[in-house]
Structure 1
Amino acid sequence: MPPPPPHRPTSTSTPSGKGELAELKTQLRQLAGSRAPGVEDLKRELYKKVISYMTIGIDVSPLFSEMVMCSATSDVVLKKMCYLYVGNYARVHPDLALLTINFLQKDCQDEYPMIRGLALRSLCSLRVQNLVEYLVGPLRSGLKDTHGYVRTVAVLGVLKLYHIAPNACKDNDFPAMLKELIHRDGDSQLHFSFVSGGIQFFYLMNNEHMIYMIKDFSEWAQCLVLEMVAKYVPEDPNETFDIMNLLEDRLQHANSAVVLATIKVFLNLTMSMADVHQQVYERIKAPLMTLVSSGSPEQSYAVLCHLHLLVMRAPVLFSSDYKHFYCRYSDPSYIKKLKLEMLTAVANENNTYEIVTELSEYAANVDVAIARESIRAVGKIALQQYDVNAIVDRLLQFLEMEKDYVTAETLVLVKDLLRKYPQWSQDCIAVVGNVSSKHVQEPKAKAALLWMLGEYALEMPDAPYVLEGFVESWAEEESPEVRLELLTAVAKCFFRRAPETQKILGAALAAALSDAHQDVHDRGLLYYRLLQHGVETAERVINPPKQAVSVFADTQSSEIKDRIFDEFNTLAVVYQQPSYMFLDKEHRGAFEFSDDTSTNASVTESSETMLASQSVDANDNDLLLSASEKEDTRGNLVSNGSSSYVAPSNSLIDGLGSFTVPPAASSLPTASFAIDDLLGLSLSTNSPESTLAQPSLVLNAKPALNPGAFQQKWRQLPVASTEDYGLSSQAAANLTGPQPLLKHMQTHLIHCIASGGQAPNFKFFFFAQKSNASTGLGYFLVECIINVTARKCTVNYKTDESDLLESFAAVFKSAILNFGV
C-alpha cells in the first residue's frame, strides 16, 4: 500500500488566529521561570511546534520575547532551536535583534564550549549593521578561546564581520590576529575554516604555511587550497619552484580531484616559463594516465577529458605514449571516442603505421558509432601527410567490407583526400567506380560520390549513366544537399562528356527549377542563365580550375581552445566549451555566427531559451521576435504578387535531336548558344516565363546582435506587419522542439536569439541583417508564435529598413513554409 500523505497542520494545529498564538505565548511564559521536573521536555515540544510553524511560512515573530526567555537553559538542543528561531527573525525584524544581544553575549561566556561556539555563531549570523559593535568583544574572546571549535567559529565570524563592515574588521586589527593564529595554532579544523573562508584571507597569510598544512586537510579542503594557490602570482621564480616542490607529492594522491587541482597549479605557475612548462607536461603524464586506467568509467572520462586537452595542445610530447590511448574492449563508447581523437592528434611519421593498423581493427567494431569514428580518424591522419601511400590503401580496403556505414564514411574521406592529393585520383577512382550507387544511402556519402562522378567524369566510364539514375530518382531524394551536388555534378559531366550528358542536364535543370527548396531552385536558375550566355562562360563559373586544398578548417578556433585551457579542472573541459557557452546569457556578451554550421548549432542550443536571464514563455506577449511564411507552390516563385516565374516541367524536354552535339568534350562549342537549342527546352529568352525579378535583399551571413541590443530595438520599433500562415502537416509533425526549426532558419541566414514553450505552443524570436549595413542598422526582427495542433503560425515584423520589409517577409515566409519539406 502507498504510504499515507504527510501530515499538514489543520485549523486545530496551525496558529491561524490570535487565540492560538496567545496560547503558545502563555505556555512559554509559564515554562520560562519554572524549574519543575520535566520542564525541559515540555519546552522542547513547544519549540518544535514553533519551529515547524516557522518553516511552513507562518509568522510566529510575536513569540520572540518568550522564546528568548525560555533559552535560559543548559540544554544544547533547546539552544540550537532558539538560535535558529532568532537568526530567522533577526534579519526580517532588526528591531527584535536587539533583544537577543544580552543573552547571546552571556552564552558566549558559558562554561560549555559547544554553547559558547553556537552562541558566537548565532551572534555573527545576525548580520545587522547596527549590531557590529557588539560583535567585536565576543570575537576577540573567541579567537583566544581554549577550545578549537570556538576558535574555528570565531575565524568564520571574522569573515562574516568583514562582509558586513570591512573597516570595522581592519580597525580592530583582526587580520593581524588571524595571521598570528594560523601560525601558532595546529588545529587542522581551524585551518580548514581559513580555507572555506575564501581567498580574501588567503593573501593575509603566508601561503607557504597553508601549503605545509595541506596534508592535514580533508580532500575537499585540499582542493580549495589548491584552487587558491592556482590564482596566486609568485613574486619570483624561486617562489614558484618552492611551491611546486611542496606540492609534488599531491600528484600521487589517490583522489583525482586533488591531482587535477595540483596540475592546474603547476600549469598556471609556469605559464610564463616555456621550458619549465614543457617539463610540467612530462611530469604530469604518468599521474594522469594512472588515473585513467583506475577508478570508475565516469572518473576515467573526466580525467581523460583533461588529458585530451593537454594532448591537443602539445601532441608531440605525447607521441611516444600512443599505446596508452588504444581502446580496450571494456571501455564505454564515450571513452573510446576520446581515445580515437587523441590517437589522431599524436600520429606522426614514426607511429603512423601502428596507429592506422590499430584504427583499422576498430572499423569492424560492433559499435557502429565507434567504427565510423575510427574510419574518420584514419582519414584525418591521411590529411596530416603521414605515410599517405599506406593509408590510402587502408581506406580503399574499407570499401571492400560491404557494410553500408563503412562505405559511406570511406566515400566522404576519399573525397577529402582527393581534394588535397589529386595525384591519388587514379587509384581511388578505380576502386570507387566499382561501388554500387544503390548501396549508398546516407546524404553525405551520396554527395561525396556525386562530387567524384562530376570531378572525374573522364576517368569513370559509367559516370553519365550513374548520374542519369540519380536524376531519374530526383523526386525521391529528400536531402537538398544531395540534389545540389547532383545538379553541379551533371553540369561538370556535361562540360567533359557533352554528347552523353546533354539530355541528363536538361532533365536535371528542369527538376531543379521545379524544386520546392529555395537553394536548389536558385542554383538551377543560376546554371540555366549561365548556359544562356554560352557553355564556356558557364564552365568558367561552375567548373573553374582548382588548386589542391592545403589545410582543412578546424572545428574549434585557437581562441576557444585557449579559453578552455584557462578553465582547467572545470566542466568547461568536459563539455569542450568555454563556460560562457553553457551559462546564462547574462554571463555572455554579443555572439557572432561563424561559417561552421556545427558551431552555430551548438551556440544556438546553449543560448536559445533565455533572454536577459528570463525564461521565454510561449504564451507571453512581451517576448521579442517574429517570422513569416511562404506558400509552397512547387515550381512557382511569387514575390508578393508583383511578378511570378513558372519553371519548365520535364515534359518540355523534347527536340533534343535537333541540335548537333559536338563529338568530343575537347571540342565544345565556342560560340554562344541559346539555352533553348542546347537543351531542347523550347523556351524563348524573352518569354515572360524565363524572367524572374532580381532579389533586392541580400542578408548578412554573420550578423552580431546581443540580447540586450535586441530587446532595446524591439521596444523602440513599432510593429511593421503582422501575418498568419498555415503550416503543412509534415512541418507540424517535425516541430517536436525548438531545435529543428532553429537550424532550418539558420540555413536561410535568419538566426534565433530566444525561443521557448513546448508542444503544442512555441514562440521564437529571430533576427537578420541586411548585408553591408551600417553598424546598428539594417536589422529585421521577427516574433513567431506557432500552434502545432492548429498548424497556425502568427508572425510580427519590426525593422528599421521599411523599404526592404516586403523582400525580407518573402524570404522568411519561404523559409517557414519549406520547413519539413
Structure 2
Amino acid sequence: MAPPAYQSQRSSSSPSQPSGKSEVSDLRLQLRQLAGSRAPGVDDSKRELYKKVISYMTIGIDVSSVFSEMVMCSATSDIVLKKMCYLYVGNYAKSNPDIALLTINFLQRDCKDQDPMIRGLALRSLCSLRVPNLVEYLVGPLGSGLKDGSSYVRMVAVMGILKLYHISANTCIDADFPATLKHLMLNDPETQVVANCLLALQEIWSGEASSSEEASRERDSLLRKPLIYYFLNRIREFGEFAQCLVLELVAKYVPSDNSEVFDIMNLLEDRLQHANGAVVLATIKVFMQLTLSMTDVHQQVYERIKAPLITLANTGSHEQSYAVLSHLHLLVMRAPMLFSSDYKHFYCHYNEPSYVKKLKLEMLTAVANEDNTYEIVTELCEYVANVDIPIARESIRAVGKIALQQYDVNAIVDRLLQFLEMEKDYVTAETLVLIKDLLRKYPQWSHDCIAVVGSISSNNVQEPKAKAALIWMLGEYAQDVADAPYILESMIENWEEEDSAEVRLHLLTASMKCFFRRPPETQKALGTVLAAGIADFHQDVHDRALMYYRLLQQSPSIAEKVVNPPKQDVSVFADTQSNEIKDRIFDEFNSLSVVYQKPSFMFTDKEHRGPFEFSDELGNLSIGSESANSVVPAQIVDANDKDLLLSTTEKEDSRASSNNGDGYGASLIDASSGPLVAVDTQPAVQAAQASMAIDDLLGLGITAPAPLPPSLKLNAKAVIDPGTFQQKWRQLPVCLTQEIQMTSQGVAALTTPQPLIQHMQGNSIHCIASGGQSPNFKLFFFAQKAEDTSTFLVECVINKSSSKAQIKIKADDQSTSNAFSESFQSVFSKFGMS
C-alpha cells in the first residue's frame, strides 16, 4: 500500500524548518548537555546549535524557552559564540524582562574579560537590553568602560551612555555622565571616541535644554571658538561620518569677523576634494552659511563649489547622483546665471532613470538664456521622441517654460508646432496645453498657431487638460478657425460621455464666446450646451450655465462684456513655491528637505502631510457599545489614532441633482404685515418678454427652474448599534462623495467634535463615532427615514485649515441619497450660525 500523500510531503520538507515544539525541546536538551562541558570540539557543536536557534528566531519561531540554556552555554572564550548569544539575548530581553535578569551576571562578568572585543560586545549588549528595571546595573560597567584602555570599549561606552539616557534620563544625569563625556571629548587621543562624545552630548544637552538652563548653556558651549577650532584642526584625523558631524556643528557657528570666516574656509578647502559626497555637501553648507552676509564672497563660493558638485553628480550610483543633483538643483534655482555656462553637464544620458532626468530637465530650463537657448531647445526636442513617455512630456513642458521666459520665441513656437505633426497622443496633448499658455502671453503668434491647431481633429485629443486647451482656443479665436462652431457642436453632442468637469466648463464658456462672434452658426449649439449645463450634476457646471443663461436674459450686451472683456497679456505665471519655502529649504541644506523639495516641517508635522487614502473598513476604528435608550453616543475613537483622521477621500465630479434648485423659490408676501404698495409691472413684463425671446432664440424652452424635491423626513430617535453600523459600512457601496465649504463661524465653533455632534443630532442626524485633534477631525454619522427603516451612513473628514469637509454617503435606498445629501449639507452649513 502506498504511503499517504501527507507523509511524503512531510518527508520532503526542509530539515531546517521545525515542525513543532519537539525541535525546540531537542535543542534545549542538547544545549543543556553541552553547558559547562570542556571536551575538545564542544565549541564547534555549540556553534551549530546556536546557528539553529538564531535561524529559528530570525524566521519568527519562538525559541525563548531555551533562554537559560543559551546563557549557561555562553561561558566560553569563543567570540563567535559570544556574538550569537548576545544577539539572542538582546532580541528576547525586552519582551521577557523577568528572564532578562538572568543575563546581568554573565554580561557583567564579560565586561571584565581580558579580550577588549568581548568587553565591548558585552557592554553593548548590556546597554541594549532596554529594560527600565535594570538600569542600576548599567552605571558601574559604563563608568569602567569610559576609563578602559581599549578605544573600542570607550567608543561603545559613550554610545551606551546615550542609550542609558533614552531609557532613564535621570539616572544618566545623576551619574554625572555628561561631564565625563565632555572631559573625554577634549582629551581622548582616539578621534572616533571624540566624535561619539560629541554626538552623545549634542543629543543629551538638546533633550535637557528645554527643562534646564545649565544644559542649555552647555549646549551653546559647543559653539565656542576654542572648541570649534579644536575640531577643525583635527578634522583630517576623523572618519567620514565624524567629519560630517563636525561640519554640521561648524555650520551653526557664527564667526566674530570676516577674517575668521576666511580662516575656517582655508582650513576646510581640501574637504571639497573629498571622495565622499556627504563630506563635500557638508563642507559646501559651511561655506554658504558663513558667507550669506558677504555677497561677493558668496558668489565666489558658488563658482568654487560648481566643479566638485558636478563631478559628484556624474560619479557613483544613480541614487547617489540623485541626492547630489537635488542639492545642485537647489543652487541652480537660486542662482541660474552662475550655472548658465555649464548647461551641457545637465544633458540627460540614455541609461539614467526618470527621476534623474526630470531634475536635469528642470535645471536646463532654469539656466536657459539668450546665449544657450538654441542648444538647449535642440537637445530638449531630441527627448520628445524618447520612449520614456513621462520624460517626453517633461521635455515638452521644458521647451514651453523656456518660451515663456522670452528667449527666442519665434524658433520655439515653430518647434512646438512641429510637435503636433508627430501624431502622438501624449505629444499632442502636452503641446496644446503649452500653446494655450503661449497665446495668453504672446497673442501676436495666434495666426500661426491657430492655423495648425484648427487642423487637429478633436477626436484625437482625449486628455482632459488638452481637450480644455483646444476648446479655449476655439472659443478665443473663433473668428480665425473656420470650423470652430461645428467642432464645438460635435463636442457638445458628446456631453453625456464627457467625464471631466473642466472640459464641460470650457465648453460652456467657448460656446458663449463663439456665439458673440458668429451668432447664426453657434445659436443651436449654445442653446444645447446651456440646457445640458443647467441639468448637469456638477455644481460648478450647473452654476456657470445658469449664470450665462440669466445674463443672456438680462442683457446680451452685458453678457458679452462678461464673457469677452478686454484682456491684458499675461506677464508672469504663478510659481508653485513661495520664496519663504525656498529659503527654508536652503537653510536645511544637506538634509532630506532638499531631496523632497520641501522644508522638514511639511513632512514631519501631521497637519502638513498630504491626503492619504484609507480603507472604507471600520476595522481600525474603535467603536464602543451604545445604549438603546441613548441617542448621543460617546466619542469612541482612540485619540492616539490620529493618522487615520488625517485622511481625506478622493473628490468626485458627481453632485446631487437636488442641489440644482437651491435658491430658486420666490419669496411670499404676507398681506397681514401691512398695506400693499403699488408696483410698476412694466419692467417686469419687459424682462419676461426678453426672457421668452432668448428662450425662443436658443431653443431652450426654460420658463422656470425645476421645483424643489419634497424634503426628506428623518427619524429623530433613530438608533443603530455599532456592530450593525460596521457591517453595513463594509457591505454598502458609496453613493456620493462631496466636498462642503465650512463657514467661518462653523470653523470657529469646531474646537472639539462635540458641538457639531449636538448640532447634527438636533436635526435627526446622529453621530456614532468621532475623534481627532484640531485641525483635523473625523466623524461617522447615521440617520433613518421617518416612514421606514432605511438607513443613511456618512463619513465626514474635516480639515479646519482649509475650511473644508469631505463627506462620503452610503444608503440602503440609493434613490434617496441625493435628497439626504441635500439635507445633510443644509444642516452642516448652518453649524455655528446660531
Equivalent of 2:826 in 804, 807, 810: 804
Shift of 1:38: 7.4
Task: Indicate the larger mover: 518-527 or 188-197.
Answer: 188-197
Q: Over residues 246-270 of structure 1, what are the superposed CA-to-partner deviations in whole Å (9 max), with x where a residue is unaligned?
A: 3332322233333333333333444
Q: Distance in 2 between matches of 1:88 and 1:805?
A: 55
Matched position secondary structure for 1:556: coil
Residue 8 of structure 1 is matched in structure 2 by 18
Task: Indicate the larger mover: 288-297 or 238-247.
Answer: 238-247
Residues 466 and 808 of structure 1: is their aligned pair in 2 closer, same or farther, counting only changes over 3 Å?
Answer: farther
TM-score after normalising by structure 1: 0.70
Q: How does 1:77-92 map to 2 (within 5 A)?
A: none
Q: Distance in 1 between matches of 2:698 and 2:193?
A: 90
Residue 384 of structure 1 is matched in structure 2 by 405
Q: How does 1:42-441 map to 2 (within 5 A)?
A: 56-57=61-62, 74=77, 76=79, 107-122=110-125, 124-125=127-128, 138-163=141-166, 174-175=177-178, 177-191=180-194, 193-194=196-197, 197=200, 199-200=202-203, 206-231=227-252, 238-441=259-462
Matched position secondary structure for 2:569: coil
Does residue 588 in structure 1 map to residue 629 in structure 2?
no
Q: Distance in 2 between matches of 1:589 and 1:170?
A: 35
Equivalent of 2:528 in 491, 500, 507: 507
Residues 473 and 232 of structure 1: is their aligned pair in 2 closer, same or farther, counting only changes over 3 Å?
Answer: same
Does residue 447 in structure 1 map to residue 468 in structure 2?
yes
Q: Distance in 2 between matches of 1:95 and 1:477?
A: 67
Matched position secondary structure for 2:607: coil
Shift of 1:642: 11
Residue 214 of structure 2 is matched in structure 1 by none
Q: Distance in 2 between matches of 1:348 and 1:223?
A: 36
Q: Distance in 2 between matches of 1:406 and 1:617?
A: 45
Q: Distance in 2 between matches of 1:14 and 1:57?
A: 9
Shift of 1:425: 3.0
Equivalent of 1:560 in 581, 587, 590: 581
Shift of 1:521: 3.1
Residue 673 of structure 1 is matched in structure 2 by 690
Is the 1:251–1:262 Cα contact (8 Å) retained in structure 2? yes
Matched position secondary structure for 1:589: helix
Residues 610 and 199 of structure 1: is their aligned pair in 2 closer, same or farther, counting only changes over 3 Å?
Answer: farther
Shift of 1:220: 4.2
Structure 2: which 5+ runs fail to align? 1-8, 206-218, 624-636, 638-643, 667-685, 712-737, 767-775, 781-792
Does residue 700 in structure 1 map to residue 741 in structure 2?
yes
Is the 1:608–1:753 Cα contact (8 Å) retained in structure 2? no
Shift of 1:544: 2.2
Residues 220 and 609 of structure 1: is their aligned pair in 2 closer, same or farther, counting only changes over 3 Å?
Answer: farther
Residue 678 of structure 2 is matched in structure 1 by none
Is the 2:185–2:195 Cα contact (8 Å) retained in structure 1? no
Q: Distance in 2 between matches of 1:197 and 1:441?
A: 59
Matched position secondary structure for 2:690: coil
Task: Indicate the larger mover: 509-518 or 345-354.
Answer: 509-518
Residues 41 and 500 of structure 1: is their aligned pair in 2 closer, same or farther, counting only changes over 3 Å?
Answer: closer
**How large is the RMSD of aligned CA atoms in angstroms?**
5.4
Residue 744 of structure 1 is matched in structure 2 by none
Q: Distance in 1 between matches of 2:650 and 2:175?
A: 67
Residue 548 of structure 1 is matched in structure 2 by 569
Residues 107 and 241 of structure 1: is their aligned pair in 2 closer, same or farther, counting only changes over 3 Å?
Answer: same
Shift of 1:120: 4.0
| Corresponding letter in the other structure for 2:741 | N
Is the 2:538–2:653 Cα contact (8 Å) retained in structure 1? no
Shift of 1:289: 1.1
Is the 1:714–1:798 Cα contact (8 Å) retained in structure 2? no
Structure 1: which 5+ runs fail to align? 592-602, 645-668, 724-750, 756-762, 770-774, 810-821
Q: How does 1:647-662 map to 2 (within 5 A)?
A: none
Is the 1:718–1:798 Cα contact (8 Å) retained in structure 2? no
Residues 175 and 348 of structure 1: is their aligned pair in 2 closer, same or farther, counting only changes over 3 Å?
Answer: same
Residues 170 and 196 of structure 1: is their aligned pair in 2 closer, same or farther, counting only changes over 3 Å?
Answer: closer
Q: Over residues 37-87 of structure 1, what are the superposed CA-to-partner deviations in whole Å (9 max), with x where a residue is unaligned?
A: 7777788799889989998556659x86x9878766555556556666776
Q: Distance in 2 between matches of 1:298 and 1:574?
A: 11
| Corresponding letter in the other structure for 1:521 | H
Q: How does 1:595-744 map to 2 (within 5 A)?
A: 603-604=610-611, 607-609=612-614, 617=619, 673-677=690-694, 679-680=696-697, 687-689=703-705, 699-700=740-741
TM-score after normalising by structure 2: 0.69
Residue 552 of structure 2 is matched in structure 1 by 531
Residue 675 of structure 2 is matched in structure 1 by none
Is the 2:475–2:510 Cα contact (8 Å) retained in structure 1? yes
Is the 2:741–2:804 Cα contact (8 Å) retained in structure 1? no
Q: Distance in 1 between matches of 2:48 and 2:477?
A: 90
Q: Over residues 87-144 of structure 1, what are the superposed CA-to-partner deviations in whole Å (9 max), with x where a residue is unaligned?
A: 6787678888888777665554443333443444455556677877765555454334
Residues 563 and 753 of structure 1: is their aligned pair in 2 closer, same or farther, counting only changes over 3 Å?
Answer: farther
Q: Over residues 134-165 of structure 1, what are the superposed CA-to-partner deviations in whole Å (9 max), with x where a residue is unaligned?
A: 65555454334333333333333444455566
Paired residue total: 711
Shift of 1:533: 0.9
Residues 794 and 711 of structure 1: is their aligned pair in 2 closer, same or farther, counting only changes over 3 Å?
Answer: farther
Residue 731 of structure 1 is matched in structure 2 by none
Q: How does 1:471-510 map to 2 (within 5 A)?
A: 471-510=492-531
Residues 675 and 512 of structure 1: is their aligned pair in 2 closer, same or farther, counting only changes over 3 Å?
Answer: farther
| Corresponding letter in the other structure for 2:359 | L
Is the 1:626–1:795 Cα contact (8 Å) retained in structure 2? no
Q: Distance in 1 between matches of 2:614 and 2:706?
A: 44
Shift of 1:313: 1.9
Q: How does 1:512-523 map to 2 (within 5 A)?
A: 512-523=533-544
Q: Over residues 282-305 of structure 1, what are the superposed CA-to-partner deviations in whole Å (9 max), with x where a residue is unaligned?
A: 222111111222233333233222
Is the 2:739–2:807 Cα contact (8 Å) retained in structure 1? no
Q: Distance in 2 between matches of 1:805 and 1:321?
A: 61
Residue 771 of structure 2 is matched in structure 1 by none
Shift of 1:317: 1.8
Q: Distance in 2 between matches of 1:112 and 1:633?
A: 75
Q: Distance in 2 between matches of 1:477 and 1:228?
A: 59
Is the 2:498–2:504 Cα contact (8 Å) retained in structure 1? yes
Q: Distance in 2 between matches of 1:635 and 1:57?
A: 59
Matched position secondary structure for 1:487: helix
Q: Distance in 1 between matches of 2:198 and 2:298?
A: 27
Matched position secondary structure for 1:674: helix
Q: Distance in 1 between matches of 2:739 and 2:117?
A: 74
Shift of 1:767: 4.0
Q: Distance in 1 between matches of 2:651 and 2:271?
A: 62
| Corresponding letter in the other structure for 2:393 | R
